[in-house]
Amino acid sequence: MERIEHRVCFGGWQNVYSHRSHAVDGAMRLAVYLPPQADTQKVPVLYWLSGLTCTEQNFITKAGAQRYAAEHGMAIVACDTSPRGGNVADDSTYDLGQGAGFYVDATVAPWSRHYRMYDYVAHELPALIEKNFPVTNRRAISGHSMGGHGALTIALKNPGRYCSVSAFAPIVAPSRVPWGERALSAYLGRDRELWRAYDATELVQTANEKIPLLIDQGDADEFLQTQLRPELLVTAAEAVGHPVRLRMRHGYDHSYYFIASFIGEHIAYHAKELRNAR
Ligand SMILES: N[C@@H](CCC(=O)N[C@@H](CSC=O)C(=O)NCC(=O)O)C(=O)O
């Protein structure tokens, strides 16, 4: 891993690395915040997944999460949203290709060559982080929009791997909204049966671990009715007795101003769950 940024932040370190990923078969950038407590002990980790158009920079420069991570003694890992580079397939629109990996393992060419963000986040990243940093194997996962979809699906697909999961304005039913339909048909093909493996509203119906789902959603979010539709997940979860908490936040839109307003509450939630995990 090559360190390309190194800054003191709330008594800890905000670092950015470039590393070669086996999963995506190319270079990836990765932001790692280490709180001051990591100087003397191992700390748990929150994995953050960003949304469409983001890099590893959006969350670390806009959310203000480091202050709370330092308070609670938690590392935060924020990765990029897709493989990148001149040899990596792309599309001219913002919701497909580079910056829009959707946290799936693509099976259809040309995407299948590098777009393996599910494998990267669920497997490669925790192994890499736990080998190279002073962290425990207690993990939490969260994300925004496309990244909220990633956090929910990766937690639901990997029982026991995460102590807690939360999401800001997540895409909860990608099989039923335009952003998701476009990405899943490109990356996985037109057989909708195959999409179920990456759809939180489908996965929750058969999840054998009832990990509680915490969701914050702004009611002035411009994508609420068309792309996000959190009520679909709430209905599906309640039907099978899966714990879900949807908090509607009056007046908030889809931006990082919304995330910055509530990230402290999410980090406190994860810190408590990580502490209580056996
Ligand atoms: N219309 C925008 C769409 C991009 C956008 O809003 N991206 C969001 C995530 S949306 C779902 O995944 C985001 O986080 N943007 C980065 C930021 O710093 O705000 C466009 O055309 O770009």
Per-residue tokens: 258: 């919304």
Residue ranges per domain, the chain?
A: 2-276
| Cis upstream peptide for 83 (omega within 30°) | no
* Size of the chain in residues: 278
Structure tokens at 176: 């039923």
CA separation for the pair 221, 219 (Å, rounded): 5
Distance CA 135, CA 21 (A): 20
The tens digit of pLDDT for each residue in 15-46 reads: 999 999 999 999 999 999 999 999 999 999 99
Q: Flag whether pLDDT at 100 surpasses 90.
A: yes
Of the candidates 95, 105, 216, 221, the residue annotated as catalytic is 221
Contacts of 113 (CB under 8 A, 6+ apart): 25, 88, 89
- Of 145, 164, 166, 175, the active-site residue reads 145
Q: What average pLDDT does range 157-185 have in this prediction?
A: 98
DSSP codes of every residue in 216-228: EEETT-TTIIIII
**Is the C-beta atom of 257 inside 6 A of ligand 1?**
no
Which residues have a Cβ under 8 Å from the Cβ of 172 and sit 6 or more positions away? 148, 149, 152, 200, 201, 215, 228, 229, 230, 232, 233
The CATH class for the domain spanning 2-276 reads alpha beta
Does the structure show a pLDDT above 70 at 278? no
pLDDT of residue 233: 98
- Per residue in 236-267, pLDDT (tens digit) is 999 999 999 999 999 999 999 999 999 999 99
The CB-side HSE value for 134 (13 A sphere, CA atoms) comes to: 15
The pLDDT of 194-199, averaged and rounded, is 98
Query: For ligand 1, what atom is nearest to the CA of residue 255?
Result: 19
Tell me the best of 48, 49, 50, 52 to mutate to test the pocket of ligand 1, counting ligand atoms within 8 Å of each CB and taking the most.
52
The Cα–Cα gap between 53 and 96 comes to 9
Residues 6 or more apart in contact with residue 185 via CB below 8 angstroms: none
pTM confidence score: 0.98
SS (H, E, C) 117-159: HHHHHHHHHHHHHHHHCCEEEEEEEEEECHHHHHHHHHHHHCC
Residues 6+ positions from 182 with CB-CB distance below 8 Å: 95, 96
254 as an active site residue: the answer is yes
| Interval between CA 241 and ligand 1 midpoint (Å) | 33
Note the Cα 234 to chain centre separation in Å: 19
ipTM over 0.90: yes
Residue 2 vs residues 32, 45, 58: alpha-carbon distances, Å: 12, 20, 20
For residue 145, indicate whether it is catalytic: yes
Kindly report, residue by residue over 58-97, the tens digit of the pLDDT. 999 999 999 999 999 999 999 999 999 999 999 999 999 9
Looking only at the bridges linking them, the beta strands covering 135-144 and 75-79 are unpaired
Q: What pLDDT digit, counting tens, does each position of 103-115 carry?
A: 999 999 999 999 9
Q: Which residues, 6+ apart, have CB-to-CB distance to 77 below 8 Å?
A: 30, 31, 32, 33, 45, 46, 47, 48, 125, 129
- The per-residue pLDDT of the chain, averaged, comes to 98
Exposed / middle / buried, residue 49 (Cβ in 10 Å: 0-12, 13-18, 19+): buried
